[in-house]
Amino acid sequence: MQIRDSGALIAGGASGLGEATARLFHAHGASVVIADLNEDKGQALTGELGERTQFVRADVTDPDSVQAAVDAATAQPGGLRISVCCAGIGWAERVAGKRGAHSLPPFETVIRVNLIGTFNVLRLAAAAMMVAEPLASGERGVCVNTASIAAFDGQIGQISYSASKGGIVGMTLPAARDLAAVGIRVCTIAPGTFDTPLLAALPQENRDELGRAIPFPPRLGRPSEFGALAAHIVENEMLNGEVIRLDGALRMPPR
């Protein structure tokens, strides 16, 4: 799948990993629809990138707003060929502790946003792609989801986040098999510790310490590196049904 002249939907595309991916795909010639809850950041980004970009305010847990974003991407020149979902949230709480059992509402919220939200983007984007004309290779589209190494190395207090990301990992192969007959590929990126707005709030000393824990390179991952891997997945037709760790060989300790 060529990025140039393709329509791309980036869910969670107003900041962090999604923003970097939107910037890179736009630079490579795609028409990009940025779907996000943060209207200020989304409008600012589309204003900066200019032509071939559009912002759609979307909540990934709301099928109607996701469908609106999918429709906008489908209407782009080239049609919807690429979907990348980077939307997600976190929550820190142990299964049980001095205050009692883990609160159920935040667990449900993390699952709803990270797992069900990703599924909403995947299912609705794939449904739009499958009615498009296939390319000469028979390919119709590529869907890239975002998990985390917490799906494999969940730390203390990460029960809800790890469960949600583990669900995304578990969806990858069956989704790829479901969609193989119509020429749609599905892959997942599981990033490690990246320099995103979430970590930007930490003191530089703490950020440096997190970076030093990574075997090589001993630094935080750059969002542009996530975007570069997403682009490679799109362009490499043999990548399908795969979960790729992007973590500098980091294996998270218990805490």
End-to-end CA distance of the chain: 40
Which pLDDT value is given to residue 197?
80
Torsion of CA 93, 145, 70, 26, to 10 degrees: 110
Q: Has 161 been annotated as catalytic?
A: yes
Which pLDDT value is given to residue 200?
74
pLDDT digits (tens, 9 = 90+) for 102-134: 999 999 999 999 999 999 999 999 999 999 999
Question: Which uninterrupted H or E stretch holds 7?
Answer: strand 7-11
pTM: 0.95
Average pLDDT over residues 76-94: 94
How far apart are the C-alpha atoms of 145 and 173, rounded to whole Å?
A: 12
Q: What are phi and psi of 29, to 5 degrees?
A: 100, 10
Domain ranges of the chain: 7-246
Q: 25, 107, 161, 226: which one is catalytic?
A: 161
Which class in CATH covers the domain with range 7-246?
alpha beta
Antiparallel, parallel or unpaired: β 100-101 and 96-97? antiparallel
Q: What are phi and psi of 63, to 5 degrees?
A: -55, -35
Average pLDDT over residues 144-163: 96
Which pLDDT value is given to residue 219?
94
Residue 76 is given by DSSP the state S
pLDDT digits (tens, 9 = 90+) for 186-241: 999 999 999 988 777 678 888 888 899 999 999 999 999 999 999 999 999 999 99
| Residue 76 Rama label (left phi>0; alpha psi -120 to 50; beta) | beta
Antiparallel, parallel or unpaired: β 184-191 and 243-246? parallel
Question: Which uninterrupted H or E stretch holds 54?
Answer: strand 53-57
